[in-house]
Amino acid sequence: MLAQHHGCIVTAHHVDHGIRPESGTEAQLARAIAARLGVGFELHRLLVGQGPNLEARARSARTAALPVGVLTGHTADDQAETLLIRLLRGSGSGGLAAMTPGGTHPILALRRAETEAVCLELGISPVRDRSNDVADVWRNRIRQELLPLATDIAARDLTPILTRTADLLRDDDRYLDGLADTIDPTDAVAVAAAHPVLARRALRNWLTLDGYPPDAASIERVLAVARGEGIACELPGGRRIERSNQRFRIISPGR
């Protein structure tokens, strides 16, 4: 609705992952909201089966289904949660920089409560995703337990502080990326000879998939292969890195 207010031609995209029984009803609610706002609507139906890494598989399927350059509704609260998730996973500064403002994240500076207030003003009831209450999902526990506890300890709202930290790390990240770009990440000899800070960064940039970089432990495994301590290693998601004739190659799942 904000894009429409600024004169943009808007099409709302809704992804039905088919994971929850009520997802079909939610899709119809999304269609009704789009119709009320007078914008186009496209429904993407996916089949993401139950099993391990459900959240990651759903995210990958969603990314593949949506058009390139689609705008998302992530807010500053999502940004703070993303930084904490990546901190718990052992990400470096690139991961801790979280989502990049602007472009495909046009309302990243807004708070979640502000977006809900806009809906309230327009008489729109936001759809509540029941999966946000699942206790064994990291983001849910960070949102419902960790952030409130940390806010209580600090006696102040931590979301602006965390988003500012992400901004500072992003500036550092861009500078170091320029230095790391001089290293060919597929050249095991060059990676092994480079300063570890830049070698890690060159590998992380190369191995990032759908905007999600490998964790620090995975990068260290690839570095060990570069140093000749092995000829291959595994990455999350089933990918494998192999070294042959001092060159790296990525082996995707199913190959």
Q: Does 3 share its domain with 21?
A: yes
Q: Does 188 share its domain with 217?
A: yes
Q: Which of 174, 191, 220 is the last residue of a domain?
A: 174
Among 138, 7, 148, which Cα is nearest to 85's? Answer: 138
Query: What is the rounded distance in angstroms from the CA atom of residue 33 to the CA atom of residue 124?
Result: 7
Average pLDDT over residues 26-41: 92
Which range among 68-82, 119-133, 178-192, 238-252 shows the weakest confidence by mean pLDDT?
Answer: 119-133
For the chain, the average pLDDT equals 90
Q: Does 145 share its domain with 212?
A: no
Alpha-carbon dihedral 5, 37, 105, 81, rounded to 10 degrees = 130
Confidence of residue 85 (pLDDT cuts 50, 70, 90): very high
Confidence of residue 156 (pLDDT cuts 50, 70, 90): very high
Give the chain's domain count: 3
Q: Which of 143, 174, 205 is the last residue of a domain?
A: 174
Average pLDDT over residues 69-98: 91
Predicted pLDDT at 143:
94
Predicted pLDDT at 94:
80
Query: What is the rounded distance in angstroms from the CA atom of residue 172 to the CA atom of residue 195?
Result: 17
- Which residues span the domain enclosing 244? 181-251
Tokens linked to 207: 């191995």
Q: Does 154 share its domain with 81?
A: yes
Query: What is the rounded distance in angstroms from the CA atom of residue 174 to the CA atom of residue 240?
Result: 27
Q: Does 188 share its domain with 153?
A: no
**Residue 36 · residue 1 · CB < 8 Å:** no
Query: What is the rounded distance in angstroms from the CA atom of residue 65 to the CA atom of residue 56?
Result: 14
Query: What is the rounded distance in angstroms from the CA atom of residue 63 to the CA atom of residue 61?
Result: 5
Percent of the chain past pLDDT 90, that is, above it, reads 62
Query: What is the rounded distance in angstroms from the CA atom of residue 99 to the CA atom of residue 83?
Result: 9
Q: Does 120 share its domain with 132?
A: yes
* Between 109 and 94, residue with greater pLDDT: 109
**Residue 73 · residue 107 · CB < 8 Å:** yes
Angle at 80 between CA 209 and CA 216, to 5 degrees: 40
Q: Residue 224: is its pLDDT beyond 70?
A: yes
DSSP annotation of 8 reads -
Among 12, 133, 4, 2, which Cα is nearest to 70's? Answer: 12
Single pTM value for the model: 0.76
CATH number at residue 101: 1.10.10.1360
Q: Does 100 share its domain with 157?
A: yes
Predicted pLDDT at 82:
95
Q: Does 245 share its domain with 185?
A: yes
Q: Is the dihedral of CA 63, 69, 73, 75 positive or negative?
A: positive
Q: Does 210 share its domain with 246?
A: yes
Average pLDDT over residues 216-229: 95
What per-residue string of b and e applies to 207-240 under the rule 16 or more CB within 10 Å gives b? beeeebbbbeebbebbbebbeeeeeebebebebe
**Residue 204 · residue 92 · CB < 8 Å:** yes
Q: Which of 20, 35, 70 is the last residue of a domain?
A: 70
Q: Does 63 share its domain with 115?
A: no
Query: What is the rounded distance in angstroms from the CA atom of residue 2 to the CA atom of residue 11?
Result: 12
Q: Does 143 share its domain with 157?
A: yes
Q: Does 104 share its domain with 167?
A: yes
